[in-house]
Structure 1
Amino acid sequence: MSSDLWSFSLSTYAQPGVEPACLQLQSAGINVCLLLCGLWLGERGVAFNEHRLQQLRSVAEPWDAEVVRPLRALRVNWKVVAADDGELNALREQVKALELEAERHLLVRLERTALSWPQGEATDLSAWLNGVAAGAAHLDRDALHQLRVAVTGT
């Protein structure tokens, strides 16, 4: 298990099937950084509760809305045009790197928020997955299961 959220997120995202699952859940409106944080907390045995989830959301939502999503939108909007324009494609790659760096900063902020929460209190990370995913449009339960398997092996 990775001790910090960023390392955990990178190793989890590299697992087979995780990237498409995360993209599917992101398209349903789920904040993937918050989801990865929930997985990390669940793996560490941090008990889920609504108050903790709301603390994490209060950190994640403004940063996602004001920093990550605008960068993502710019990158996505340039995709077609950049395919035929090498200079624009180079700029698009820089925006992509900046988007990833913004996500890293968000994960650091989420980790900082949860750092003092006791570990070893819970054994099921499903509460975190379900809590983070609650209210998502067209929730793909198979994608959530894929993430659970990537972290727990079951």
Structure 2
Amino acid sequence: MCADLWSFALSTYARTGAEDACLRLQEQGADVCLLLCGLWLEERGVALEPGRVQALRAIAGPWQADVVEPLRRVRKQWRAMAQQDVGLGALRERVKALELEAEQQLLLRLEALAQAWPTGERATHPTWLEGLATEAANLDHDALLQLRAAATGT
């Protein structure tokens, strides 16, 4: 078990199928940082409570909208042009690194909030992953299952 959320996210993302699942969910409007946080909370045995979900969303929503998404838009916008322009390609890689750093900062903020929540509680339904996935309508449930499998190593 990873003690910190950033290590958990990196470890999960590196597992077979996780990257594909995360990208599919992201394209459908899901906040992958929130989903990874939810899986981490499940692993730690933190009980799902509506107030906790709201608190996580209150941090993640503005950060995604104001910090991560603008960087992601620029990175995607430059994709085709960067293939033809080496200088722009280098700038795009720097934007990509900033986007990743912004996601790391979000995960650190989510972890700081969740640190005070008791661990080792019994899991009840719905789980964190499903509870946080409701933010985006019509999510690919196969991708959610794939992400859960990657996180649990099954």
TM-score of the pair, normalised by structure 1? 0.96
Per-residue Cα deviation, 1:84-115 (whole angstroms, up to 9, x for no partner): 00000000000000000000000000000000
SS in 2 for 1:117: coil
SS in 1 for 2:84: coil
**Aligned-residue CA RMSD in angstroms?**
1.3
The answer to which of 5-14 and 122-131 deviates more is 122-131
- The 5 Å alignment of 1:38-117 reads 38-117=38-117
Alpha-carbon distance in 1 for matches of 2:125, 2:24 = 20
Conserved? CA contact 1:43–1:125, under 8 Å: no
Alpha-carbon distance in 1 for matches of 2:73, 2:126 = 30
Alpha-carbon distance in 2 for matches of 1:147, 1:122 = 21
Conserved? CA contact 1:45–1:120, under 8 Å: yes
Alpha-carbon distance in 2 for matches of 1:122, 1:6 = 24
Conserved? CA contact 1:44–1:119, under 8 Å: yes
Q: Given residue 149 of structure 1, which amino acid in structure 2 is its aligned partner?
A: A
Aligned pair 1:122/2:122, yes or no? yes
Alpha-carbon distance in 2 for matches of 1:121, 1:24 = 31
* Displacement after TM superposition at 1:149 (Å): 1.1
Alpha-carbon distance in 2 for matches of 1:93, 1:82 = 9
What residue is the counterpart of 1:146 in the other structure? 146
Moved over 4 A (4+): none
What residue is the counterpart of 1:137 in the other structure? 137
* Displacement after TM superposition at 1:125 (Å): 8.0
Task: Give the % identical residues.
Answer: 60
* Displacement after TM superposition at 1:127 (Å): 1.2
Q: Given residue 116 of structure 2, which amino acid in structure 1 is its aligned partner?
A: S
Alpha-carbon distance in 2 for matches of 1:124, 1:145 = 17
Runs of 5+ in structure 1 lacking a partner?
none
Q: Given residue 108 of structure 1, which amino acid in structure 2 is its aligned partner?
A: L
TM-score of the pair, normalised by structure 2? 0.96
* Displacement after TM superposition at 1:152 (Å): 2.1
Alpha-carbon distance in 2 for matches of 1:22, 1:141 = 12
Alpha-carbon distance in 2 for matches of 1:108, 1:135 = 21
SS in 2 for 1:123: coil
Alpha-carbon distance in 2 for matches of 1:143, 1:13 = 13
Shift in CA distance, 35/128, structure 1 to aligned 2, threshold 3 Å = same
